Structure 1
Amino acid sequence: MTDVMTAPTLSPASSGYAPVNGLQLYYEIHGEAQGDTPPLILLHGGFGTTGMFAGVLPRLAQNRQVIAVDLQAHGRTADIDRPLSFEALAGDLAALAGYLKLVQVDVMGYSFGGGAALQTAICHPEVVRRLVVVSFPVNSDAWYPEVRAGMAQMGPQAAEGMKSSPMYAAYAQVAPRVEDWPVLVTKLGQMMGLDYDWTAQAAALEMPVCIVVGDADLFGPQHAAEWFGLLGGGQKDPGWDGAALPATRLAVLPGTTHYDIFVSPLLAVVVTPFLDA
Structure 2
Amino acid sequence: MSEHEVQYVTVHGHRRAFVRAGSGPALLLLHGLGCDHTTWTPVIDRLARHHTVIAPDLLGHGRSDKPRADYSVGGYANGMRDLLTVLGVDRVTVVGHSFGGGVAMQFAYQFPERTERLLLVASGGLGPEVSPAIRAITAPGFHQVMGALTLPGVRHAGVIGLKALRATGLKATRDLDEVATIYDSFADPQTRTAIRHVVRAVVDWRGQVVTMADRAYLTDAMPMAVVWGADDRVIPARHAENAAFLAPKARVEILPDAGHFPHKDHPERFARIVHDFVRTTQPAVYSRARWRSLLRSGDQGAVTAPLGLVEGAAGA
Band the TM-score falls in, shorter-chain normalisation: 0.7 to 0.9
Using the alignment, how far apart are the partners of 2:50 and 2:92 within structure 1? Answer: 14
Find the counterpart in structure 1 of residue 136 from structure 2.
150
Question: 1:80 and 2:67 equivalent?
Answer: yes
Using the TM superposition, give the Cα deviation of residue 17 of structure 1 relative to its aligned residue in structure 2, in angstroms.
2.5
1:30-78 Cα deviation digits (max 9, x unpaired): 12x23xx2x1111111111211211122211111110110001111111
Match of 1:200 among 211, 214, 218: 214
Find the counterpart in structure 2 of residue 262 from structure 1.
263
Using the alignment, how far apart are the partners of 2:46 and 2:108 within structure 1? Answer: 24
Using the alignment, how far apart are the partners of 2:28 and 2:145 within structure 1? Answer: 31
Find the counterpart in structure 2 of residue 219 from structure 1.
235
The runs of 5 or more residues in structure 2 that have no matched partner are: 160-179, 281-316
Using the alignment, how far apart are the partners of 2:124 and 2:32 within structure 1? Answer: 13
> Is 1:138–1:202's contact at 8 Å kept on the other side of the alignment?
no
Q: 1:159 to 1:125 in 2, by over 3 A?
A: farther
Using the TM superposition, give the Cα deviation of residue 29 of structure 1 relative to its aligned residue in structure 2, in angstroms.
0.7
Local SS of the residue matching 1:51: helix
Find the counterpart in structure 1 of residue 312 from structure 2.
none
Using the alignment, how far apart are the partners of 2:252 and 2:142 within structure 1? Answer: 34
Q: 1:97 to 1:149 in 2, by over 3 A?
A: closer
Find the counterpart in structure 2 of residue 103 from structure 1.
90
Using the alignment, how far apart are the partners of 2:20 and 2:51 within structure 1? Answer: 10
Using the TM superposition, give the Cα deviation of residue 271 of structure 1 relative to its aligned residue in structure 2, in angstroms.
1.9
1:153-172 Cα deviation digits (max 9, x unpaired): 48313432254443257748
Q: 1:223 to 1:79 in 2, by over 3 A?
A: same
> Is 1:110–1:262's contact at 8 Å kept on the other side of the alignment?
no
1:190-236 Cα deviation digits (max 9, x unpaired): 23424222212133122111111111223333332232233233xxx
The runs of 5 or more residues in structure 1 that have no matched partner are: 1-7, 234-247
1:140-192 Cα deviation digits (max 9, x unpaired): 52436x356434348313432254443257748xxxx9442331342233234
Q: Percent identity?
A: 24
Using the alignment, how far apart are the partners of 2:142 and 2:111 within structure 1? Answer: 31
Find the counterpart in structure 1 of residue 253 from structure 2.
251
Using the alignment, how far apart are the partners of 1:81 and 1:137 within structure 2? Answer: 24
Local SS of the residue matching 2:214: helix
Q: 1:168 to 1:256 in 2, by over 3 A?
A: closer
RMSD: 2.6
Number of aligned positions between the proteins: 244
Larger Rg, first or second structure (1 or 2): 2
Local SS of the residue matching 1:212: strand
Local SS of the residue matching 2:75: helix
Match of 1:182 among 187, 192, 203: 192
Question: 1:10 and 2:12 equivalent?
Answer: no
Q: 1:267 to 1:159 in 2, by over 3 A?
A: farther
Question: 1:232 and 2:248 equivalent?
Answer: yes
More helix by share: 2
Find the counterpart in structure 1 of residue 276 from structure 2.
273
> Is 1:25–1:71's contact at 8 Å kept on the other side of the alignment?
yes
> Is 2:230–2:255's contact at 8 Å kept on the other side of the alignment?
yes
TM-score of the superposed pair, with normalisation by structure 2? 0.69
Using the alignment, how far apart are the partners of 2:135 and 2:111 within structure 1? Answer: 31
Using the alignment, how far apart are the partners of 2:235 and 2:133 within structure 1? Answer: 9
> Is 2:19–2:56's contact at 8 Å kept on the other side of the alignment?
yes
Local SS of the residue matching 1:257: coil
Report the residue type matching 2:10 in the other structure. P
